[in-house]
């Protein structure tokens, strides 16, 4: 039985990744800032798979990534897979950017993710095995003046992914990332509503349709599709795949 830790698994993409891992027979640590939501996902995973543990935790608190890894290891004796999915992003005009937005975004998307890679990496080094999958975004390579902190944070995720892949390669541990296209999650809905407002667009449906048309495949994706790619990297991909970024963005990202 493999032991998996998924961060930000109280809803959206993270919940779907946790569920697919459970269905594949993994024990799943379900971490989220929202403890009630983490508990709900853990109940679903417990029904779908062998074991689940809810971890209600703010990953940006001092020592939290290390504690989360410790909790999973205490439950199942090892950590085979870490999925760094927890994330935050907010819309604000470039010239009106705030310190609060930068602090909150970088704290979870980059700093906590890097510390979680290191905490899991130390356990995986001893095991001489393990896989880490980080969730990045097409935004990391786009010029997004009204979403600058988020885009920069995801460029940070790409940087940490490369560094972690090289640091952990001598121990047989792989580190890759997945860049999802637009999935209609809670985060995506509120982000696009805020963007429409900032751009003075009241015709939200037309605004969303325009954004969808920019995707070469002409449609949005969903959590099930993106989670399947994460699970493939975490459980099925050849063990020679590391430092890779897998775009599940319908052609939005082109390499």
Active site residues: 150
32 is a contact residue toward ligand NAD (CB under 6 A)? yes
Are the beta carbons of 215 and 251 closer than 8 angstroms? yes
58 is a contact residue toward ligand NAD (CB under 6 A)? yes
Q: Which is nearer to ligand NAD, 129 or 152 (CB)?
A: 152
88 is a contact residue toward ligand NAD (CB under 6 A)? yes
d(CA 157, CA 113): 8
Q: State the greatest distance between any 2 C-alpha atoms of the chain, in Å, as a whole number.
A: 55
Least distance between ligand NAD and beta carbon 252 (Å):
10
Q: Which is nearer to ligand NAD, 12 or 29 (CB)?
A: 12
Structure tokens at 74: 């205490």
137 is a contact residue toward ligand NAD (CB under 6 A)? yes
Count the residues of the shown chain that bind ligand NAD, applying the rule CB under 6 A: 29
250 is a contact residue toward ligand NAD (CB under 6 A)? no
Residue 55's DSSP bridge partners are 31
Q: Which is nearest to 235 in space by CA: 22, 10, 15?
A: 22
33 is a contact residue toward ligand NAD (CB under 6 A)? yes
Are the beta carbons of 239 and 174 closer than 8 angstroms? yes
Structure tokens at 63: 């020592």
Region for 247 from its dihedrals, namely left if φ exceeds 0, alpha if ψ lies in -120 to 50, beta otherwise = beta
d(CA 172, CA 114): 19
- When binding is defined by CB under 6 A, the residue of 182, 229, 237, 248 that contacts ligand NAD is 182
Structure tokens at 78: 């090892």
Least distance between ligand NAD and beta carbon 237 (Å):
19
Least distance between ligand NAD and beta carbon 170 (Å):
28
187 is a contact residue toward ligand NAD (CB under 6 A)? yes
| Contact positions vs ligand NAD (CB under 6 A) | 7-8, 10-14, 32-34, 37, 58-60, 85-89, 108, 135, 137, 180, 182-183, 185-188
């Amino acid at each position: 039985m493999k032991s998996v830790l998924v961060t930000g698994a109280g809803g959206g993409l993270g919940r779907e990744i946790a569920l697919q891992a459970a269905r594949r027979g993994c024990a799943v640590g379900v971490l989220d800032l929202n403890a009630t939501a983490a508990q709900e996902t853990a109940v679903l995973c417990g029904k779908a798979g062998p074991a689940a543990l809810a971890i209600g935790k703010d990953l940006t608190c001092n020592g939290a990534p290390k504690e989360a890894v410790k909790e999973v290891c205490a439950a199942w004796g090892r950590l085979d897979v870490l999925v760094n999915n927890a994330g935050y992003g907010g819309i604000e005009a470039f010239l009106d950017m705030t310190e609060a937005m930068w602090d909150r975004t970088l704290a979870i998307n980059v700093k906590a993710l890097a510390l979680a890679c290191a905490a899991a990496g130390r356990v995986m080094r001893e095991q001489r095995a393990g896989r880490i999958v980080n969730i990045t975004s097409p935004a990391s390579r786009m010029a997004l003046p009204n979403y600058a902190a988020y885009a920069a944070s995801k460029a940070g995720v790409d940087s940490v992914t490369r560094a972690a892949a090289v640091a952990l390669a001598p121990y047989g541990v792989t580190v890759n990332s997945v860049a999802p296209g637009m999935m209609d999650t809670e985060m995506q809905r509120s982000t696009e509503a805020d963007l429409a407002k900032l751009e003075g667009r009241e015709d939200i449906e037309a605004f969303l349709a325009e954004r969808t048309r920019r995707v070469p495949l002409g449609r949005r994706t969903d959590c099930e599709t993106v989670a399947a790619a994460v699970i493939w990297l975490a459980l099925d991909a050849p063990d020679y795949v590391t430092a890779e970024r897998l775009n599940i963005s319908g052609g939005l990202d082109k390499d």
